[in-house]
A and B are shown apart, each in its own frame.
Chain A
């Protein structure tokens, strides 16, 4: 399965799939959309894109993808979720629908739409632990934040809270799983995707 160039899927049930495919290709991965369990079985890693998390969750359940996703993630497949994808990788969510299911895998509690509605959506430079050079450009769209993390979770980026002294966690990693509240796929700066591609390459070794 794993040759020198990793094959990375983008979960293509709904969301900004095309932007992730482009970003992965520019980070030297073979990128392809994944909508079926057979397609999931053929990839070395998976990106869960931005989109509407309730829609993605419902479609994953309706088309029998949720269990295969959980199995692959539990078996160590590297995965990266941006925005809705972060919600999908969270063990616990707040402000979701009462029946909303996630894939899970990262020991964290994520609050959905925590930064507010579209009028509060924003862009901001943000330091990202493990990436050399300039801060990344964070694009936050009705974005979630991480409210709590377990001991095994490494915090990679935080933003100062608008209304207090504390800060909001907006990027985390636990083992082979990576999640960001923001959308690097919308910026043309593919360093976060390159970081994930190297995670996939290391996992394949």
Chain B
């Protein structure tokens, strides 16, 4: 055995590799919305890979109306202190000062989220300016690549948060996957026009065409309410699942949370999905997305 001297260069923090690598560690897992320390513990007990700290779950944001903002720092601290798993929190789109505050609080990931009321209707935050990594929502490949160009280290399909209806999550995941597949069939010459049509940087378009996948991890979000919903999103190509209102707006959150975690790991095993789906009590009631007025569709926020 050789004796390589043990040396170390100056360590670097906040690199793209460290930010994207963090999301790689979450793959195959479930990230759960929680509004207090007690819910955060239930989520951790159930096997969540991370929690999303927010003041109201999307279903309540819909019900209450008004402006939805970043959560209270005390509440985020309470959740950080209650669990040992990573803690994420949401900033408004374009509200880079909320993001600065979340970074100062030490959250592990920032979700620049359409579920909160946008602060800037033209620009998203410059996410390269932060050490803390960002996850952003997307409804199609062009939107995903614009967010990655701005520095997002993880993408989630948007779905329609707070509805308990998986239909929009399916639409967006299928759209992103179809857009990617189409890119892989184009020759090099055609990629320039593809970049123009996607309204995304050519270099990223070329990278996706070569990889056949996004250069960052892709999760699903917005409407998952049952273990079968989670497994559906995984079979459609999601690398993990965000569950918002679906857990803590249901009859037995602890049991449902554990069942969604198991169904996400064994997403391709219907016997296991059947087993974990038994006796979960009532699912959240849910909203038919057809009846949602355009102004209440969160997926339309972000550009």
Report which A residues bind B (CB closer than 8 A): 12-19, 35, 50-52, 54-55, 58-59, 62-63, 83-84, 95-97, 112-113, 117-132, 135, 139-142, 157-160, 162, 167, 183, 186-187
Contact = CB atoms under 8 A, between A and B. Distances in A.
B4 A131 contact: yes
A52 B8 contact: no
A14 B28 contact: yes
Contact of B27 (A17, A112, A125, A130): A17
- Interface of A, secondary structure class, is loop
A118 B26 CA distance: 13
B291 interface: no
A15 B21 contact: no
Contact of A123 (B15, B27, B133, B265): B15
B22 A123 contact: no
B260 to A, nearest CB: 12
Nearest to A113: B84
A59 B49 CA distance: 12
B18 A139 contact: yes
Given A117-B108, A123-B15, A125-B9, A54 B47 contact: yes
B13 A130 contact: no
B9 A62 contact: no
B154 to A, nearest CB: 12
Interface in B22-56: 22, 24-29, 44, 47-50
Contacts of A160: 8
Nearest to A83: B25
A192 B125 CA distance: 38
Contacts of B50: 52
A36 to B, nearest CB: 9
A51 B29 contact: yes
B261 interface: yes
Given A62-B262, A124-B9, A142-B86, A16 B15 contact: no
Contact of A142 (B2, B22, B28, B47): B22
